[in-house]
Amino acid sequence: MKYFNACWLTIAVSVLAACGGSDEPELKSGVHLDALDTTTRPQDDFYQFANGGWLDSTEIPEIYSGYTVYHEVSERVEDALRTIVENAANGSNEPGSEAQKVGDLYSSFMDIDAINAQGIEPLQPRLKAIENIDSIESLTTTMATLLRSGVAAPYRIQIYPALEDSSRYTVYVNQSGITMPNRDYYLQVDNENFAEARAGLRPYIAGMLARSGMDAEAAAKAAENVYALEAALATVQWDSVRNRDPQQINNPYSMDELPELGTNMHWGESFAALGIDGEEQVIIEQPSYFEALDGLLNDISLNTWKQYLAFRVLDASGQYLDETTAAIRFDYRNRILYGQKEPEPRWKQGVAIVDRLIGEAVGKLYVAEYFPPEAKAKMQELVDNVIATFDESLDDLEWMSPATRIKSKEKLAKFLPKIGYPDEWRDYSTLKIVAGDNFGNINRAITWDYERDLAKLGTTVDNKEWGMTPQTVNAYYDPSKNEIVFPAARLQPPFFQLNADDAINYGAVGGVIGHEISHGFDDSGSQFDGDGNLVNWWTDQDRKAFEEKTRVLVSQFEKFSPVEGMYVNGELTLGENIGDLSGIAMAYRAYIRSLNGQEAPVIDGFTGPQRFFIGYAMSRKGKYRDAAIINRLASDTHSPLEFRVNGPYPNIDAFHEAFGTQEGDGMWLAPEDRVRIW
């Protein structure tokens, strides 16, 4: 149950270190003038005004499903990461050192000739274990064993702090096991936007099963069975909105109570295989799903379950195997589901694998070379100012009572900001990486990470641990730790510019700081106290007033339609929309506070407030292929990029003042209809 709010893509990048020199740099506006569309009035479509020049001149490369400012930064600096990894691969490294592990993991993946020669041979032990299943008990224990190696079964487990006691770790058991991005793809049969994904799934399943040795006819029949099984799972799964509610998913069960959900799961044997049989209690996030799964284990034939698991094994590992298998997987997983036309170059895939599996080993090398201390100091200043401004603004909330206001301030005072990189690095000394053993290395790294999580059980929660690597372009709020985290890679141009006027930084990165703080007070995060525990600290009247405001925001966003026939899900995206709206407003107040009563200079023809709003908008620029937009509308908690600007701005008085909007303008919203939450 990874319950922190991550607020962007995960793309490995590098901070530009060319910020130095002893001379004081000339102050710049930070506005990318060539990215503007000056033919569009900012009062009518601010997203197009701020980014239209870039949008109109930028094509999505065929190796991506979309192209955003984050991709743009990634491509500028990805070569630096490649250099770090390839230097490790080509160096004379001490056996067992992190450099050896980084280098050998990368070089083994790059040896495509050796990988092609193996074909799917590395999967044979798993496929043989599936073939030997002869009972429901052996089916469920095999599922559990596969899950430890990263193979998605109809459920998964995660180990995180307990919702009601954030000082200890517990096990969360939650629904999983479908191939398409969301249950809606299976259930909304009249939605033509899902048609290509549905039509392509059976051939994909058949193609993968054929790689295991099935003849074409048998594989096609098996694909029908597997598709029907996945559709049955989707039918009983909870939807994404319900899964966002921590109260709904907080369902503790003792080991003695688990049989109430059914006995076909063979809970004791399955948990022993998972290594969690010593736990007295687990959290079953979707109890009704597991009751239904218990029936499906009995009602669906053992043979179909075996076909399903064989497909899941191939699907989970296909990208790491020979080119034929990887191409089948790419055609469905990347092309059909996301619109990506060509695979990324192999070196990019290799860097991504190293980053994903032993990311902090790479991060340590990365930070030493590319993260200037000036950036961390400046970011700390921005964070402190935004937090102080939010604390002051709590006094101005007319809808909140003094009792809840006091609790809000107490929670804010306990916020833990983390900037750049962890104080303590992950220890990879027990992970074995062997030169030339591509699949073995990947499997050992996945299993090692699983066992590392198992070792947390029974220990006190480690608040020094990070949920992202320093080279991740992202930020997040974790309610169980009440922390806001800003990895080093997020703190670089154009998001964060040391030599630019403060307005652009308060817009581009201050908005992100405010966004993450706001997650502590959104519809979900507001249910946790300052110590990270799920507990109600609101008065009933204040919660009602809060929900009245959020319902208006839901209604506003549900009017947005980026592709014909589909609209933004205002409930699914509510937390992120609150984060955007409140984060922008919060960062703007912090920017004005930073001026200490002085008027900001006009630079490049824009006032300070105008540069602030341009700065935030240009940090959201990007475009996606239709398949990716459809995917995101169904499953992503974030609104599409244009609505992360044009959605919140009409609600912000300062925006209307900065650009002189009036009734009839596209961005106009009457004052009485504007939503202010925080």
Asked if 75 and 141 sit in the same domain, the reply is: no
Give the H or E element holding residue 175: strand 169-175
The span from the CA of 513 to the CA of 493, in Å, is 16
Q: What whole-number percentage of the chain has pLDDT above 90?
A: 88
Asked if 60 and 207 sit in the same domain, the reply is: no
Domain that holds residue 178: 122-320
Asked if 75 and 134 sit in the same domain, the reply is: no
Which of 304, 320, 336 is where one domain is finished?
320
Asked if 307 and 182 sit in the same domain, the reply is: yes
Q: Which range has the worst mean pLDDT, 178-182, 505-509, 541-545? A: 505-509
Asked if 248 and 394 sit in the same domain, the reply is: no
CATH number at residue 222: 1.10.1380.10
Asked if 214 and 149 sit in the same domain, the reply is: yes
**Residue from 343, 236, 251 nearest 291 by CA:** 236
Contact present, 623 and 55 (Cβ < 8 Å): yes
Position 12 confidence tier, pLDDT thresholds 50, 70, 90: very low
Asked if 549 and 664 sit in the same domain, the reply is: yes
Which of 286, 320, 354 is where one domain is finished?
320
**pLDDT (tens digit, 9 = 90+) per residue, 491-501?**
888 888 877 88
Q: Does 216 score more than 90 pLDDT?
A: yes
In a domain, 566, yes or no: yes
Asked if 160 and 236 sit in the same domain, the reply is: yes
CATH number at residue 58: 3.40.390.10
What integer is the mean pLDDT of 369-391? 89
What integer is the mean pLDDT of 577-603? 95
Q: Does 5 score more than 60 pLDDT?
A: no
In a domain, 4, yes or no: no
**Residue from 119, 121, 237 nearest 175 by CA:** 237
Asked if 72 and 216 sit in the same domain, the reply is: no
The span from the CA of 455 to the CA of 449, in Å, is 10
In a domain, 127, yes or no: yes
In a domain, 437, yes or no: no
Asked if 255 and 182 sit in the same domain, the reply is: yes
In a domain, 447, yes or no: no
Contact present, 644 and 568 (Cβ < 8 Å): no
Position 27 confidence tier, pLDDT thresholds 50, 70, 90: low
In a domain, 338, yes or no: no
Contact present, 267 and 284 (Cβ < 8 Å): no
What integer is the mean pLDDT of 341-352? 97
Task: Specify the pTM.
Answer: 0.93
Asked if 400 and 548 sit in the same domain, the reply is: yes
Q: Tell me the one-letter amino acid at 330.
A: F
Which of 289, 320, 351 is where one domain is finished?
320
Is the torsion defined by CA of 489, 493, 497, 499 positive or negative?
Answer: positive
Q: Tell me the one-letter amino acid at 28.
A: K
Q: Does 235 score more than 80 pLDDT?
A: yes
In a domain, 342, yes or no: no
Q: What is the pLDDT of residue 152?
A: 87
Q: How many domains is the chain built from?
A: 2
**Residue from 619, 618, 607 nearest 655 by CA:** 607
In which residue are the tokens 């997203």 written?
Answer: 47
Taking each helix axis as running N to C, give the angle between helix 346-357 and helix 359-370, from 0 to 180 degrees, rounded to the nearest 10.
100
In a domain, 578, yes or no: yes
Cβ contacts of 608 within 8 Å, gap of 6 or more:
501, 503, 591, 595, 599, 600, 601, 602
Query: At 83, is the secondary structure helix, strand, or coil?
Result: helix
Q: What whole-number percentage of the chain has pLDDT above 70?
A: 96
